[in-house]
C-alpha cells in the first residue's frame, strides 16, 4: 500500500512535524514550505544516502559546494538568460495566469469559473515568454533596476559544477570518466507552483555531472538510468510506482541530446492512468554544450562565441594525445520530490485488534528520522525513568534515539509508527530485575525481550536490513 493521494501526506506532515506551510502566521507564502524536526532529519538522511552512494561508494566522483549567486555571465553563456522561460498566458475572463504548455492541468483560480472543466470558453491572451530566474542586485546600489549590479539566484546547481570543471580536474588529478556531485538550493520563479512540495519556487537539487569521452556517453547514460531506478527501489520505493519517460525532440532542453525522466506515481487517485505520473528526476546527455560555451575559445564555425571567459575547459587525453570537450551525463534529482515520493510510498494503514486503523510509515531504517524510541512504562517510577534515560544516552552515539514519556504506551507506539521509527524499546518493572527490555517492531508489532547489554548490537543488526 502507499498513500492514496498527496493530501494524506500534507496532513500527516503537518500533524507530526515533517513539513509546515512557510510564513503561516502571516497567511503563508504561496507554495513555500518549512521543514520541521522530522522533515529536516528525513531530508538529511536522503541527501546523505545519495552522497554516500555516489561520492563515497564509487571511486570516480568528487564533491563540490558552489555559490548560489554567481557572476551574471554564467547565466548568459549557459543560455539561461535567453532560454530559461515558460510561455505565459493570461485569461481575460477569470484573470488567472497560466503556463501555456500546462493548460490541460490547471483549474481556474477565480470564481465564477470560466476556464478548464467548466465547459465555457477561456479568453486567453497571446503567450509571452517569462524568464524563471529570480533577480537580485549585488552591493549597495542606487536603483533596484541597475543592470550593472544585476545577479540571479541559481536555477540549477549544475552550472556551478561546469565552471569549476578545471579547478576540480587540476586538484583531483582525475582522468575521464569522472563525475562531480553537488547538493544545494535552486530557485525558479515558477508560474504555477503547487501540489505541496512537488513544485516550489525554492527547492533543493542533487545533481551530478559525469564527464566522459563522447563515444562513451550513450552507454554511460543508459547505465545511469538503470542505476537510479535501482537506487530508488533500494530506498524502499516500489517499482510499480516508478516508470521511465523518454523526452521528445520538442521537449528536450537546448543543451540535451537525450533525456530520460524517472516518473513517480504522485497522483494515484486520478482515473486516467497516464495522468497519475510526474517527474521525480531527469537524466540527460548534455553533450559538450556547457564546457564549450563556458570556454574562452570554442571552435564553433571558427567563431569565438565566449569573449568573457578566461579559461579553456577542454580536456587533454594523455593516452590518445587528443584535446576535446568531454560529454556530460547528468542525473538531476530534487530532494523535495524524492522526500514526497518516499513519504507516499512508505505510507500504510493497519487495523489493530480493537478495530482501530493506525498509520504506519514503513520507511527504510536508513531514512527514518528516528531509529529508536525509548519509552518508560511507568513515568512515575524514578528507577524506570532513569534506566530508560540511560539506555537512550548509551544508544545515541550509534543511532538517533529519543526518550518519550508524554503519553500512555499505546499512544506512544502509535506516534512512533506514524513517524516511521523502526523500533520502540519499553522499559518496565521487570527490566529492573532482569536487566532486559522489550523491543517492538514497527511493521509487525512483534515484541521480543532483549538484554540491555546486547541491545545496541541487536538494534544495529536489524537496522541494517
Q: Which residues contact 275 (CB under 8 A, 6 or more apart)?
A: 267
Q: Could you tell me the three cell numbers for 371? A: 531509529
Which position among 190, 278, 404, 417 is part of the footprint of ligand GAP (CB under 6 A)?
Answer: 190
Give the E-state strand segments of 235-336 in sequence order. Answer: 242-246, 258-264, 278-285, 315-317, 322-324, 327-334
Query: What is the rounded distance in angstroms from the CA atom of residue 364 to the CA atom of residue 42?
Result: 11
Identify any residues that bridge with 426 across adjacent strands, giving them in sequence order.
375, 438
Query: What is the rounded distance in angstroms from the CA atom of residue 356 to the CA atom of residue 360?
Result: 13
Closer residue to ligand GAP, CB minimum distance, 182 or 416:
182
Closer residue to ligand GAP, CB minimum distance, 199 or 362:
199
Q: How far is the CB of 161 from ligand GAP (least distance, A)?
A: 9
Contact window for ligand GAP (CB under 6 A) among 103-111, 140-148, 168-176, 276-284: 276-284
Closer residue to ligand GAP, CB minimum distance, 339 or 427:
339
Q: Based on the shown chain and the rule CB under 6 A, indicate whether residue 98 belongs to the binding site for ligand GAP.
A: no
Closer residue to ligand GAP, CB minimum distance, 96 or 282:
282
Which position among 199, 221, 258, 371 is part of the footprint of ligand GAP (CB under 6 A)?
Answer: 199
Closer residue to ligand GAP, CB minimum distance, 217 or 281:
281
Pairing of strands 202-212, 436-441: unpaired
Cβ-closest residue to ligand GAP? 334
Count of Cβ atoms closer than 10 Å to residue 271 Cβ = 6
Q: How far is the CB of 192 from ligand GAP (least distance, A)?
A: 10
DSSP 353: T
Q: Based on the shown chain and the rule CB under 6 A, indicate whether residue 209 belongs to the binding site for ligand GAP.
A: no
Element (H, E) at 426: strand 423-427
Q: Based on the shown chain and the rule CB under 6 A, indicate whether residue 179 belongs to the binding site for ligand GAP.
A: no
DSSP per-residue letters across 384-396: HHHHHHHHHHHHT
Q: Based on the shown chain and the rule CB under 6 A, indicate whether residue 158 belongs to the binding site for ligand GAP.
A: yes
Question: What distance lies between CA 291 and its chain's CA centroid?
Answer: 26
Binding mask 306-335 for ligand GAP (x = CB under 6 A): ------------------------x-xxx-
Q: Based on the shown chain and the rule CB under 6 A, indicate whether residue 188 belongs to the binding site for ligand GAP.
A: yes
Contact window for ligand GAP (CB under 6 A) among 81-89, 94-102, 199-207, 377-385: 199-207
Question: What distance lies between CA 403 and its chain's CA centroid?
Answer: 29
Nearest-CA neighbor of 15 among 441, 419, 450, 458?
419
Binding site residues, ligand GAP, CB under 6 A: 156, 158, 188, 190, 199-200, 203, 205, 207, 279-282, 330, 332-334, 336-337
Amino acid at each position: 500500500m502507499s498513500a492514496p493521494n498527496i493530501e494524506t501526506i500534507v496532513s500527516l506532515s503537518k500533524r507530526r512535524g515533517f513539513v509546515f506551510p512557510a510564513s503561516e502566521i502571516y497567511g503563508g507564502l504561496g507554495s513555500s514550505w518549512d521543514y520541521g524536526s522530522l522533515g529536516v532529519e528525513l531530508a538529511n538522511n536522503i541527501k546523505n544516502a545519495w552522497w554516500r552512494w555516489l561520492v563515497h561508494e564509487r571511486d570516480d566522483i568528487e564533491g563540490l559546494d558552489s555559490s548560489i549567486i554567481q557572476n551574471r555571465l554564467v547565466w548568459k553563456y549557459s543560455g539561461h538568460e535567453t532560454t530559461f522561460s515558460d510561455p505565459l498566458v493570461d485569461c481575460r475572463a477569470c484573470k488567472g495566469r497560466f503556463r501555456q504548455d500546462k493548460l490541460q492541468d490547471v483549474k481556474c483560480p477565480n470564481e465564477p469559473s470560466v476556464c478548464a472543466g467548466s465547459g465555457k470558453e477561456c479568453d486567453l491572451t497571446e503567450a509571452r515568454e517569462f524568464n524563471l530566474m529570480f533577480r537580485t542586485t549585488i552591493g549597495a546600489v542606487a536603483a533596484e533596476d541597475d543592470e550593472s549590479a544585476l545577479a540571479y539566484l541559481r536555477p540549477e546547481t549544475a552550472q556551478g559544477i561546469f565552471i569549476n570543471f578545471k579547478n576540480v580536474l587540476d586538484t583531483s588529478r582525475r582522468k575521464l570518466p569522472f563525475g562531480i556531485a553537488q547538493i544545494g538550493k535552486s530557485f525558479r520563479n515558477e508560474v504555477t507552483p503547487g501540489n505541496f512540495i512537488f513544485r516550489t519556487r525554492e527547492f533543493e537539487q542533487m545533481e551530478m555531472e559525469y564527464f566522459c569521452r563522447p563515444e562513451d556517453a550513450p552507454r554511460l547514460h543508459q547505465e545511469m538510468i538503470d542505476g537510479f531506478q535501482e537506487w530508488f527501489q533500494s530506498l524502499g520505493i516500489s517499482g510499480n510506482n516508478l516508470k521511465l519517460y523518454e523526452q521528445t525532440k520538442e521537449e528536450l532542453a537546448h543543451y540535451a541530446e537525450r533525456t530520460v525522466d524517472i516518473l513517480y506515481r504522485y497522483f494515484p487517485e486520478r482515473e486516467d492512468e497516464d495522468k497519475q505520473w510526474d517527474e521525480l528526476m531527469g537524466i540527460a546527455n548534455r553533450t559538450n554544450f556547457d564546457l564549450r560555451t563556458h570556454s574562452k575559445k570554442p571552435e564553433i564555425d571558427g567563431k569565438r562565441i565566449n569573449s568573457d571567459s578566461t579559461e579553456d575547459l577542454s580536456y587533454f587525453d594523455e593516452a590518445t594525445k587528443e584535446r576535446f570537450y568531454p560529454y556530460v551525463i547528468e542525473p538531476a534529482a530534487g530532494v523535495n520530490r524524492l522526500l514526497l515520493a518516499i513519504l507516499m510510498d512508505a505510507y500504510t494503514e493497519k487495523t489493530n485488534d480493537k478495530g482501530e486503523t493506525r498509520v504506519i510509515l514503513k520507511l527504510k531504517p536508513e531514512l527514518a528520522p528516528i531509529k529508536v524510541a525509548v519509552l518508560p512504562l511507568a513515568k512515575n517510577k524514578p528507577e524506570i525513568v532513569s534506566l530508560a534515560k540511560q539506555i537512550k544516552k548509551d544508544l545515541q552515539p550509534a543511532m538517533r534515539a529519543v526518550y518519550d514519556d508524554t503519553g500512555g504506551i499505546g499512544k506512544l507506539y502509535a506516534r512512533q509508527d506514524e513517524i516511521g521509527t523502526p523500533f520502540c524499546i519499553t522499559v518496565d518493572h521487570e527490566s529492573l530485575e532482569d536487566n532486559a527490555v522489550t523491543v517492538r517492531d514497527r511493521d509487525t508489532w512483534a515484541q521480543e525481550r532483549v538484554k540491555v547489554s546486547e541491545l545496541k548490537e541487536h538494534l544495529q543488526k536489524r537496522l541494517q536490513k
